[in-house]
Amino acid sequence: MKRLYPTNRLLTLSHQYRALKRAIESELDRVFPFECVVRVSNPSFHGVGIVARNDACPAHKLPVLVESGNVWFYEIETIDERLTRPRDWPVWVRQRKMQIHRDIMAARERERTDAAATELVRMADEAGGFIVPESTTRRTS
């Protein structure tokens, strides 16, 4: 059985396709960044949604989180506009954005707490396993 190898033309088209896909994704990320609010006018859906991340989404579509909690892929042509003013957002979008903000703040607090715990462990290792709080140490001047 004869083995077939990709032709130079096929390889060139493959490289061009990947480069074009990266360019489309980059432009989509610039125009419709993650978590921005958009208005969609699609035959199956007219409303507001939040741009989501989804690796399975084709390059010519935009993943949008809708009020039901589902993420749907809409053609770029059906995205009417990006809503930048919170007063234009429905209540569910404002609530979702506030929850995202609270989650981010909680994650940052966990990082700070973890960093403090790591520092205490480092200090204990340096002190031979014992940590003496500064408030209980006597200072002699």
Percent of the chain exceeding pLDDT 90 equals: 46
Burial of 71 (0-12, 13-18, 19+ CB in 10 A): middle
Asked, for residue 47, whether it belongs to a domain, the answer is yes
CA distances from 137 to 42, 95, 109, 131, 134 (A): 69, 49, 29, 11, 5
Please count the CA atoms within 13 angstroms of the CA of 114 that sit on its side-chain side: 6
* Containing structural domain, residue 45: 36-128
Per-residue pLDDT, averaged over 90-104, amounts to 90
Predicted confidence (pLDDT) per residue in 19-32, tens digit: 998 998 899 889 99
Residue 65 confidence (pLDDT): 93
Asked, for residue 11, whether it belongs to a domain, the answer is no
Residue 130 confidence (pLDDT): 61
Number of separate domains in the chain: 1
Residue type, 5: Y
Predicted confidence (pLDDT) per residue in 21-76, tens digit: 899 889 988 999 989 999 999 999 999 999 998 888 888 899 999 999 999 999 99
